[in-house]
Amino acid sequence: MASEVEHLVDRGRTYPVVRLTGVLEAETAATVRSTVVNVLAQGPEAVILDVEGLTVDGPGAIDVLRDVARQNDDWPSAHLVLCCTDGAVWRGTGLPVWPTPADAFAALGKPDEDRHLSVTLEPVVGAARRARELITEACGRWEMPELAGPGCIVVTELVNNVVAHAKTPMTVLLARHDDTMSVAVRDRSCAQPRFTGPVAPTSYGGRGLLLIDSVSRRWGNLGLVDGKVVWAVLDSDEQSPDASRSQLTGQA
């Protein structure tokens, strides 16, 4: 009989807690990844994974959490921590391990609600304008005026892409991380964007992703069961984008 992993997401705590129970092995790794990634896709400041009831079957089973941790480092850069009274097996993930969620809450402290802003938009004309207003508000609040221009470029392209192609409701997510700001748009289309580099001068269109690449430190996308998140990280030091870290594949 195939093993199963069950999950319960508790959003009524200081930070969302994902309780995983069952057997973590190759056959159940996809379920675990999907569960954790869908919580991360909402752009929280921290996520706590309670793995007390999760049994690891084989040394490679925890690779899925290592992969999720690497994705999280790029975006949304949430504090991702594990909870288990016997944390020895989980230290291989590279994630902090606390005995209980209460211990994790104490270590993380209170969330800084001012670090995150979001707005839900319909795929209509004017959506990009409202998203730019949010960018301008955020950059003023966070004293990052130098990121208002690049942020408006990124959010305009991402929102207009949803309006033109995905045609689904979307959520714009902004977050401040020290000297960087992340801009992300979540929609309900699983079609992935594709970046192929510079386009010919005579080409019509196709420059939106090139613009994002030109103003971002790094950018990419996160595939979900019910859609995707396309994100970009902007640096107040105005460093040139690292094209080798662009991760966009597929078609939007």
**CA distances for 1 relative to 29, 61, 233, 243, angstroms:** 16, 18, 44, 45
Q: Which residue has the tokens 């105005």?
A: 238
Is 32 found in the same domain as 77? yes
Is 122 found in the same domain as 103? no
Q: What is the CATH number of the domain that holds 118?
A: 3.30.565.10
**Contact call for residues 189 and 166 (beta carbons, < 8 A):** yes
Rg, C-alpha atoms of the chain: 19
What's the pLDDT at 28? Answer: 94
Is 153 found in the same domain as 58? no
Is 196 found in the same domain as 170? yes
Tens digit of each residue's pLDDT (9 = 90 or more) over 187-215: 999 998 876 555 444 333 345 788 999 99
Is 77 found in the same domain as 41? yes
What's the pLDDT at 83? Answer: 97
What value does the mean pLDDT take over residues 48-66? Answer: 92
* Ordered strands of the 97-98 beta sheet: 5-10, 17-24, 46-56, 79-83, 97-98
- pLDDT of 105 higher than 70: yes
Is 128 found in the same domain as 95? no
Question: pLDDT band at residue 183, thresholds of 50, 70 and 90?
Answer: very high
Position 75 in a domain: yes
Please identify, among 91, 108, 125, the residue that sits at the C-terminal boundary of a domain. Answer: 108
- pLDDT of 1 higher than 50: no
What's the distance, Cα to Cα, between the start and end of the chain in Å? 39
Please identify, among 59, 90, 108, the residue that sits at the C-terminal boundary of a domain. Answer: 108
What value does the mean pLDDT take over residues 169-194? Answer: 94
Question: pLDDT band at residue 243, thresholds of 50, 70 and 90?
Answer: very low
Torsion angle defined by CA atoms of residues 204, 248, 170 and 156, in that order, rounded to the nearest 10 degrees: -40
What's the pLDDT at 175? Answer: 97
Is 96 found in the same domain as 38? yes
Q: Which of 2-6, 41-45, 155-159 has the lowest mean pLDDT?
A: 2-6
What value does the mean pLDDT take over residues 132-146? Answer: 97
What's the pLDDT at 204? Answer: 35
Question: pLDDT band at residue 87, thresholds of 50, 70 and 90?
Answer: confident
Tens digit of each residue's pLDDT (9 = 90 or more) over 225-241: 999 999 999 998 754 44
What value does the mean pLDDT take over residues 157-164? Answer: 95
Please identify, among 88, 108, 128, the residue that sits at the C-terminal boundary of a domain. Answer: 108
Position 251 in a domain: no
Alpha-carbon span 108 to 121, nearest angstrom: 31
Q: What is the CATH number of the domain that holds 69?
A: 3.30.750.24
Position 133 in a domain: yes
Question: pLDDT band at residue 91, thresholds of 50, 70 and 90?
Answer: confident
Is 76 found in the same domain as 26? yes
Tell me which residue range forms the domain holding 57.
5-108
Position 250 in a domain: no
What value does the mean pLDDT take over residues 50-70? Answer: 92
Is 238 found in the same domain as 139? yes
Beta strands 97-98 and 79-83, pairing class: parallel
Is 70 found in the same domain as 137? no
Is 169 found in the same domain as 138? yes
What's the pLDDT at 97? Answer: 96
Give the total number of structural domains in the chain. 2
Is 145 found in the same domain as 102? no
